[in-house]
Structure 1
Amino acid sequence: MSGSAGTGKTVVALHRAARLARADVGAKVLLTTFSQPLAEALSRKLAVLTAGEAEVRARITVASWERLADELYQLAFGRRPRVAPSDQVRAALVAAAQAQGVGTFSDRFLLGEFTQVVDAWQVESVEAYTGTPRSGRKSRLGARQRERLWPVFAAARAALNEQGLMTWPKVFGAVTAAYSERAAKPFTQIVVDEAQDLGVPELRMLCALAPDGADALFFAGDLGQRIFQPPFSWKALGVDVRGRSTTLKVNYRTSHQIREAADRLLPGVIRDMDGREEARRGTISVFDGPPPEIVRAADQGTETAAAIAFIAAARADGIGAEEIGAFVRSRAQLDRARRAVEGAGLVPVEGTDPGAGKEGRVLIGTLHLAKGLEFKAVLVLACDDQVLPLQQRIDDAMDEADLDEIYETERQLFYVACTRARDRLLVAGVLPVSEFLDDLEKD
């Protein structure tokens, strides 16, 4: 099932999980998504949906892909996996590249190639690497380049193994291997929210945990909100949803004015690697609101003043502090969101803090953090040139095709942040501002 932001995909996923659990006393339903904070939000909503039905709720497990893999790994192997953080993987790759004398590839490229190709597909040899599809990796690599890179990846993997460390793709792979041959699966049905951000190892794992059957797996997602994973062929992994999907067209969350502006950021039709198309035009919103406010500030002080005025207006209309979210492209700009919230006399709290979501506090964070959340009022700040799209990513582009992929995912990230808003949206940056702001204002 697909649909643009705010069309109720998550609501459908929740109702499907509840219906499956009600229909069979022996059901063991998994409701899963990309992050644990979002999984916890789903769990709270599910508790409301199944209020007074304790036996139904008990048949549903809600967990993120990583939390699920962590728990199943412990059940299969009797110990918890020690997962290396991304910075440690990057450091291992950089050290291996230096030792091998491979200095023509950036740190970001090495990490992406290892994570999205070598580790995702659990490649174990240079021969296998040469034949592994690099779906979503737009920069071309010939056989000689792959042969040159392979010792770097092999050495980095060996260094992590020596420390007893795993990567998440390796954990997913171990769980997949442990459960794929078992006749008795841990779940009878699996419902996946935000399915567009599934990677190769995550999808393989979910397939291994579900029994055979046409309706054992249900996916809800939006290709236009893919921000975490490169595209790849689901059909190649045995999951073919062509001709079996439905597109939702009524937006219940976002006002017509905000949705219409945000839709200008993306093409009218998005295709996946299996040829399936998602038409984005024709969606309607069920309510109106003020148009988005777009501020091209001369300096950061002017941007902050506009943000403070926006928050004050929202508060005057009865919007609570906890119903406001302020987002920036990366942590380097987080102080600009913090200054705006504090200048309005409110308490900012990062989404990773225990106080996030508490009454009287404004959530601040990066655009990635906005994924899966919703607010009555949203501020997207620091939309400066060289910040959005992120200049570091552009500098790391290997060729024109790679650059196109970077611009596409940066647009989708911006779209995700803007569509978190229900009633009010402020988009602001300091001159020269991001080129994406022009697209928001096109007729």
Structure 2
Amino acid sequence: MGTAALTHFDYLVDHDEDLESALGLSNLSKDINHWRCYGMEYPDGALVGSRKIVETALKTLAKLPADERMDIRETIDHAEDKGIIDRTMALKCHEIRMKGNKGAHGMSVKAIDAQMTLDLLDDFLRWCAEDLQLIPVHSSSAGSPDDPIFIVKPSEEVAEMSKKVRLVATLDDNKDIEKKAQKAKSQIEAYDDSSQSDLQKMLELYKQAEEIGLSAAANQDEETLAAKKRLFDGFEGKIASLSEEKQAVSASFDDVNTEIQEILNEHDFIRKLLRGDKHATIDQHNVMAFPKGSASVTNILQIAGGAGTGKTLCLLAKIISEIDDHGQEALFGAPAKKALFICFNKGLANYVRGILAGYEGYLPDIDVIHYDLFVNQLVRQKPRQDYAYLAEYAQDVRYARGQIIYGFDDQYVEMLKSAQMTVARRHPERAKDYYLDPSDEDGFEWLRDELFWIEARFMSSEEATRSYPTAQRVGRGTKRNPSSAMKQIILEVWIELNKLLEANGRYTIEQATKRLLNSNSLPAYDAIAIDEVQDFSLLSIRLLLRFRRNDSSMIFLSGDENQKIYQRDFTWKELDEGLKGHTITLVKNMRNSSAIRCFSDRLLGKECPYEKARDKVHIEDADDSRIVELLRKLSDPSRRETTVLISNKRTWEDALRSAGVPVAKVAPGDISRPGLYLLGDLMGKGLEFDNVVVDYAWEISEDEEEEKRLRYVHFTRARKRLYIRYQGTPPKLLSDYYPDFLR
């Protein structure tokens, strides 16, 4: 590609915000880059948008009041009369106006019109930048820019790919990817040169044909007008051909860019940590170096940190390094080391399993499973086929009959309401209290959570009866604070519920946990990694500690109190007085853009200027149809991005399919593939997506602190863009923390 002293819109690199401020504009660079990339296929946007930029800029420069009803023609003439622009610039502005009108009314040939219009817009904005003394005035001999108006990719995107590929080649010893990247870059440059030449030739013919056409129309020369039409039809055919070629070149670039990003994704990140490469943060190096001496008595490492700091990936790298024998056979026939990676989120377990699948030889030695499934396979009469290896364990505590039940199951809800009514009959004076009245929905939700806590906290009804009435509910944050006498009645409900569960052959995960704590035959692991530890109960952590092969077996924990969902509080001293632990806190956010991170951190009490996040975060009062259209746009295959809708509303999948918007059905462990995914309100922990759409049509919890934690998890799933929709009155959390975004 040739180079010249000037390039189209080069002044926007350093002065776009200055121009926006001075000319009353917004998203200037973003819009112009979009028109340059897609103006050949969709020229109307460039035509109409350029006209709007000129109109807004001239009104701002002329200091016309906001309610001034002067149209664009009058605005241009007014600016010329006031000496704001000279005659030459006024004619250029009028040409932009006329091309904009042509785009607005569906006339052709618009791709060439868009090229002419963007050329003129460049002249206008360059003149504005010079007049505002943002850039020096260039001499007329400098010539016009010879880079193309229509481009395949913005130069900064091509430069970013070149920068990444050099890093990839170094990290992965991958010379082929460098060759592919260079080929993609060369294709872009060659296309830019050839298409510019073709379009310039068409442009010259176009101008001549327009002049001849005007004369022929005046003279009613049908033959000349027909020749002009054939010429214009030829233009459109050539433009269509150039557009197809451009899409092919763009797709080739995107494929290479995706391959580069895959090498830089989680798999490579773990490799870097294992190798100790300089690209990991200092804190991550400290994680990999733990424990620093062979004589260390510390056997628990807690990896703390906020969302996006790489806790899960550090945990994976650490547990891989712990059991890796570097290809050596175990001495004297000793069994190979075995590790357990366990978390509370089914989606995260699948995701981790997908990551580990890229490490041949590691996966068979690391059991990856979410807690509920693991416990259930250990207590049910016969494990599922996939978990047949667990059949030899816990045979002394397995249920002879019974089936797992969860608090959201209809049968559980009915049994709890029945227990409430039974106890209410014993205490008629309390029958309308929130914890005994099944019709009080908020009270019922509170009671259900409280019973989960009791079940997960106390080993027996005797212990609960003795300790619960005076127990402190650390971290719950609810406004309800029952007295000791009220807690005695709540215990009655719990006991009645357990009777009903047993009579119906059902058990909860908390009951199964306690059953396993009494087993004399549990699986044994040389290393255990517990992710999102803040969501585990005291008893579940105690159970996992029982899975250590011996006292020297390592335990690795990761957690973030800001993402705590299940409110299962405990202190480390309650686990085991003999444990020796160490905590390393990760600070650097590796996932979110600065805008997403800044926006989310408001929930943590940190300051975030609206201007820093407004382009990446959008909050709107929107109905379902608008969300469907947004998801259609975000999940367009040409974007090659991952998008998630976070909502517990079960009708979304049907609504999207009815609208022709495909929903990805691959396993959550495969969410690196571009597409649209649906996740419930509690299913996103540890996962990340390019675009996140949060359906904030209702509040999840009556507890404000819990609501904050849940939404913090949702917001920090986004790598690039975050969309939040509400309906009608904004939820209190949005009103309290994001009033400027609501405007």
Task: Provide TM-score, normalisation by structure 1.
Answer: 0.77
**What per-residue deviation string (whole Å, max 9, x for no partner) do you get for residues 53-109 of structure 1?**
x2x432211111122212333521275652123233332222122112253113223
Query: Superposition pairs for residues 289-304 of structure 1, below 5 Å?
Result: 291-297=615-621, 300=623, 304=625
How many angstroms apart in 2 are the aligned matches of 1:83 and 1:185? Answer: 21
**What per-residue deviation string (whole Å, max 9, x for no partner) do you get for residues 222-265 of structure 1?**
11111123322232122799972111122222111111111112
Contact 1:341–1:362 (Cα < 8 Å) also in 2? no
Amino acid of the structure 1 residue aligned with 2:720: D
Match among 24, 28, 43 for residue 338 of structure 2: 28
Q: 1:133 to 1:355 in 2, by over 3 A?
A: closer
What residue is the counterpart of 1:374 in the other structure?
688
What residue is the counterpart of 1:91 in the other structure?
414
**What per-residue deviation string (whole Å, max 9, x for no partner) do you get for residues 280-316 of structure 1?**
x99xxxxx9983332333x516xx4366246526638
Query: Superposition pairs for residues 229-378 of structure 1, below 5 Å?
Result: 229-238=567-576, 244-267=582-605, 291-297=615-621, 300=623, 304-305=625-626, 308-309=629-630, 311-312=632-633, 315=636, 318-320=639-641, 323-328=642-647, 330-331=648-649, 334-335=650-651, 339=655, 343=659, 345-348=660-663, 361-378=675-692
Q: 1:8 to 1:213 in 2, by over 3 A?
A: same
Helix, strand or coil at the partner of 1:90: helix
Query: Superposition pairs for residues 35-434 of structure 1, below 5 Å?
Result: 35-48=345-358, 50-51=359-360, 54=361, 56-73=362-379, 75-77=393-395, 79=398, 82-86=403-407, 87=409, 88-101=411-424, 103=431, 104=433, 105=435, 106-125=443-462, 126-137=465-476, 138=478, 139-179=480-520, 186-211=524-549, 213=551, 216-238=554-576, 244-267=582-605, 291-297=615-621, 300=623, 304-305=625-626, 308-309=629-630, 311-312=632-633, 315=636, 318-320=639-641, 323-328=642-647, 330-331=648-649, 334-335=650-651, 339=655, 343=659, 345-348=660-663, 361-381=675-695, 383-384=696-697, 387=698, 389-390=699-700, 393-394=701-702, 406-434=703-731
Amino acid of the structure 2 residue aligned with 1:362: L
How many angstroms apart in 1 are the aligned matches of 2:582 and 2:457? Answer: 27
Helix, strand or coil at the partner of 2:544: helix
Q: 1:33 to 1:23 in 2, by over 3 A?
A: same
Q: Which has the higher strand share?
A: 1
Q: 1:124 to 1:376 in 2, by over 3 A?
A: same
Report deviation, 1:339. 4.2
How many angstroms apart in 2 are the aligned matches of 1:57 and 1:309? Answer: 38
Report deviation, 1:13. 0.9
Contact 1:258–1:291 (Cα < 8 Å) also in 2? no
Q: Which has the higher contact order (CA 8 A, sep 6+)?
A: 1
How many angstroms apart in 1 are the aligned matches of 2:363 and 2:372? Answer: 21
Amino acid of the structure 2 residue aligned with 1:170: Q
How many angstroms apart in 2 are the aligned matches of 1:435 and 1:358? Answer: 34
Residue identity (%): 22
Contact 1:350–1:356 (Cα < 8 Å) also in 2? no
**What per-residue deviation string (whole Å, max 9, x for no partner) do you get for residues 89-132 of structure 1?**
33222212211225311322321221112454233133343355
Q: 1:212 to 1:199 in 2, by over 3 A?
A: same
Q: Which has the higher helix share?
A: 2
Q: 1:62 to 1:440 in 2, by over 3 A?
A: same
Match among 315, 322, 333 for residue 13 of structure 1: 315
**What per-residue deviation string (whole Å, max 9, x for no partner) do you get for residues 189-224 of structure 1?**
211111111112211211221255476211011111
How many angstroms apart in 1 are the aligned matches of 2:530 and 2:523? Answer: 17
How many angstroms apart in 2 are the aligned matches of 1:70 and 1:155? Answer: 23
Contact 2:523–2:547 (Cα < 8 Å) also in 1? yes
Amino acid of the structure 2 residue aligned with 1:76: A
What CA RMSD, in Å, does the superposition of the two structures yield over aligned residues? Answer: 3.4
Report deviation, 1:10. 0.9
How many angstroms apart in 1 are the aligned matches of 2:724 and 2:324? Answer: 44
Q: 1:115 to 1:379 in 2, by over 3 A?
A: same
Contact 2:643–2:677 (Cα < 8 Å) also in 1? yes
How many angstroms apart in 1 are the aligned matches of 2:488 and 2:568? Answer: 23
Contiguous gaps of at least 5 residues in structure 1: 269-280, 283-287, 395-405
Helix, strand or coil at the partner of 2:706: helix
Bigger radius of gyration among the two: 2
Contiguous gaps of at least 5 residues in structure 2: 1-302, 331-335, 380-390, 436-442
> Which deviates the most, 131-140 or 218-227?
131-140
How many angstroms apart in 1 are the aligned matches of 2:694 and 2:711? Answer: 9
Contact 1:289–1:423 (Cα < 8 Å) also in 2? no
**What per-residue deviation string (whole Å, max 9, x for no partner) do you get for residues 299-357 of structure 1?**
516xx43662465266386234xx111123x32xx5468646865x4213689x99995
Q: 1:61 to 1:121 in 2, by over 3 A?
A: same
Helix, strand or coil at the partner of 1:244: strand
How many angstroms apart in 1 are the aligned matches of 2:552 and 2:738? Answer: 41
How many angstroms apart in 2 are the aligned matches of 1:6 and 1:355? Answer: 18
Give the paired residue count: 392
Report deviation, 1:428. 2.0
**What per-residue deviation string (whole Å, max 9, x for no partner) do you get for residues 32-71 of structure 1?**
11123321211111121x23xx2x4322111111222123
Helix, strand or coil at the partner of 2:354: helix
Q: 1:70 to 1:148 in 2, by over 3 A?
A: closer
Report deviation, 1:154. 1.3
Helix, strand or coil at the partner of 2:482: coil
Contact 2:708–2:733 (Cα < 8 Å) also in 1? yes
Contact 1:197–1:229 (Cα < 8 Å) also in 2? yes
Contact 1:346–1:360 (Cα < 8 Å) also in 2? no
